[in-house]
Every structure is written in C-alpha cells, then in structure tokens.
Amino acid sequence: MADTIREQATIPAELDGERLDAAAAQLFPDFSRSRLQSWIKRGELLLDGVSCRPRDKVREGGQLTLDAELEDEVSWQPQAIDLDIVYEDDSMLVLNKPAGLVVHPAAGHADGTLVNALLNHAPGMAQLPRGGIVHRLDMETSGLMVAAKTLQAHHDLVDQLQARTVKRQYCAVCIGAMTGGGTIDAPMGRHPRSRKKMAVLSVGGKPAVTHYRIAKRFGHHTRIAVTLETGRTHQIRVHMAHRKYPLIGDPTYGGRPRIPKGASQRLIETLRGFPRQALHAEALGLEHPATGEPMHFECPLPRDIEDLLTVLAEDDPPIAKRDY
C-alpha cells in the first residue's frame, strides 16, 4: 500500500508572486518539484481549496493543501511485450492498446506496462518525457493512442492536445435507454471522499466537456459515440454516470450490474460477467507533428465489446416498456 501524505502550508511573504510549483517545492522540501507538479496536475495539491496549474501565481497568505499517495519510485525498463501498431514513422506511432494493459509504471504496476513495451520497441523513447506518452487510456479501456518518438514530436502533440485540436472518438455501451444525444459540460476533480475516484464538482473542478450521440438503442441499454473536448481522468465514465447512464462493466462509477426484468439467462450472464468498462477509443485525428499533414486513424471494436453488442441486439431488443 502506498503511504498517504496529508500536509498544509501557508504562503509566506517572501514567496508572494511565485509559481505554484516553485512555492510548493520550497514549502514541501521532502518532495521533488516534478512530483509536486504531478500532484498539482492531478488535483492532489490545492491552492486555497482549488485545483490550479503549476505555473499559476501564489499570494501571501494562500493555503496549500496536499492530500496524495506517495507512490514508490519505479525504474522504466524495456520489456518484450507485443504491440498492435496501427501506424509508425520516425516521429510518432499510433497503437491499439488492449484492455488490461497499464500505460505507465507505478506502484502496484512496476512493469508489464505500455511504456515498458515501447522502450523495448524503440529504445530512444526512454529519453523523452513519460517515455513518449502524450495522453492516457485507463487500464481497462481499449483503443487508439499516439506516442511521440522525438522531443519535437512530443512537444507538438502535447500542444495539439492542449489546443483541443486532437479529435478522439470512443464507443461506449451504457446502462439505460437514452432518448437522444447531447453535451455534458461539468467540471471534474478528485472525489472529495474517495481520492482514487474522480467526480463532477460544483466548486474547484477543472473544465470537462463531453459530446455524445446515440449509435444504437437497445431495450435497456444504449451504444453511444463519444467525442471529447477535454481529457480529464475517467471523464467519459464520470460524465455518463453523472447523467445516470453509467457504462456497462464499470463498478467504480456504475455499481453492481443492473439486470432488466425478464432478462434471458444469456443476457444475465453477459451483463454480470462483462469484465471491464465497455469503452473503446475507436478513432483518432491529429496533425502530423513533423509535416502538419492531417491524419485520421480507426480501429475495430475488440471481441468482447462485439460479443456484448451481439447479445444486446438479440436478447435486449427495443421494447415499449423499459423497467429494471
């Protein structure tokens, strides 16, 4: 178990006007500036109770609150792990990540991650920030990711993400029969009582915008196509649960499986046995970091989601009365 760190500090006069990360490094000298920056970005180090950016300025009398897990430092070593590479050149690669693969080494997952696989495939990526990774997928989310192979490409792809010009589309299968698509504009941050979870927050959250449209209606479930303007941790899962349409197979935000009345045995077994959140990154659009050329990538649904959709189509057809 990682140790939980809970500390507070008040900004003194001599740090008035400093960057948040620089002030935090002075007030919490036991931790490196890079680790403090990570905690700031994850909303675990707050300024006056609000999640801020590392470069934001602090003022005398401001209150810093640190509530984070002290993860063990891990070394990133290359490992021979199969990769499903969709596209690759000298600047970048696009891959189809399987469900169950962790992206970065961390406490509890010191190896066997996507980064370990990438360092084995392209050793030069070890010299890049975060091993070339510019965005994440949750461990149990499958689908397309882009990684940089040069520092220039890494900077360019990060800039594209921050400018919200990278286009990401996901397939999600939700509990509940939706009547239409829409947009969820609901700020997010660390859950106030369960720090391993994220939540929609009325105060102090970071902007989070999710667009969704109906791709297929079933009797008690809906397949949707989701696009993101922002990339908050667990964003789709949290936003859809906030709208009362949690993803199938997501116990963190959806609770126990919901079985429709009169469900067939096959449907019951499928819903109870689906092993992960039904979420797949199916399309990715960006500009090539070296040439500026527009690029678009797609990958098929994985077998588990295909099988889930087949069962829903056959055993959960649209009906007039929808009741659990």
Active site residues: 138
Give the pair of three-digit tokens for residue 69: 């897990």
Which residue's structure tokens are 């600047």?
91
- Helix spans in the chain (H): 20-27, 33-41, 114-121, 151-162, 235-242, 251-254, 265-273, 303-315
Q: Which two tokens stand for residue 275?
A: 């092993």
Write a three-state SS string for 210-268. Answer: EEEEEEEECCCEEEEEEEECCCCCCHHHHHHHHCCCCECCCHHHHCCCCCCCCCCHHHH
Q: Which residues contact 11 (CB under 8 A, 6 or more apart)?
A: 23, 27, 58, 59, 60, 61, 62, 63, 64
